Amino acid sequence: MSRCVLLLLTLSLLFTPQSPATEELIDQYLSVPGSYVFVRRLPEGTESGRVVMTVFEDFLCPACYHVATELIPRLREKYGDRLAVRFVGYPFVHPDSRLPARAYELAQEMGLGEQMQRALFQAQFEEQVHTASREGLAKVVHSIGLDPEQFLARLDAGEGTAAIERNLALGASYRVDAVPGIIFDGWMRATELSQDNLEQIISGLLAKKQAHNSHMRSRREQEP
């Protein structure tokens, strides 16, 4: 992150009244290494001792396929339960992207989101199946054990559309203007998606959270 961006953020925070709890929370994030920008004023949905990473993905996007199938598994292997990953269907590449994105949202409601994600990417980029077509999507649906006719009927009825609109609004609020888009703890967007940069950010956040937790424990122990 550039010094200019950090300075602007720090100044805006200094001249905005904050509660002691908010000031302590903000302190966890300042000076974290890596390439990123702050896209909201405060963190959102944070967890103590764990980094929450939200990944906006388009199922017709080759870079999203790489992130989901190669990069994220390596990060999960390194950080284990200290890293929580949330995938969000974000039809950005092409208008046709909405159909597989809606299918993913519908599968998530059925508890099959992970299976659908894997099947969509595998079909599109490994088997050259056009997943944005009804015929291609029917093959994907069948591959994860669902009835294609019933599934497509639910999509024809508009299911998954509201979820996609919410995802698009969420991405806009995070200023996600390209896919894949990666947000940390609800307010930091990675500007470089290399494994090295993501690890710098994650490790930096975990170190800050650990130091904060140790400080809070020490404070409680000193209280009368």
Task: Note the Cα 20 to chain centre separation in Å.
Answer: 29
* Beta strand pairing call for 181-184 and 51-57: antiparallel
pLDDT of residue 46: 79
pLDDT of residue 120: 98
Of 48 and 8, more confident: 48
The one-letter code for the residue type at 36 is: Y
What architecture is domain 3-222?
3-Layer(aba) Sandwich (3.40)
pTM for this one?
0.85
Q: How many CB atoms lie within 10 A of CB 111?
A: 8
Contact 144, 115 (CB under 8 A): yes
**Roughly how many angstroms between the first and final C-alpha of the chain, as a whole number?**
41
- Domains of the chain, by residue range, sit at 3-222
pLDDT digits (tens, 9 = 90+) for 137-190: 999 999 999 999 999 999 999 999 999 999 999 999 999 999 999 999 999 999
Contact 93, 165 (CB under 8 A): no
pLDDT > 90: percent of the chain = 72
**Residue 210, SS3 per DSSP:** helix
pLDDT digits (tens, 9 = 90+) for 118-133: 999 999 999 999 999 9
pLDDT of residue 34: 95
- Closest-CA residue to 59 (of 168, 114, 140, 132): 132
Beta bridge partner(s), residue 51: 83
* Beta strand pairing call for 51-57 and 83-89: parallel
pLDDT band at 212 (very low <50, low <70, confident <90, very high): low
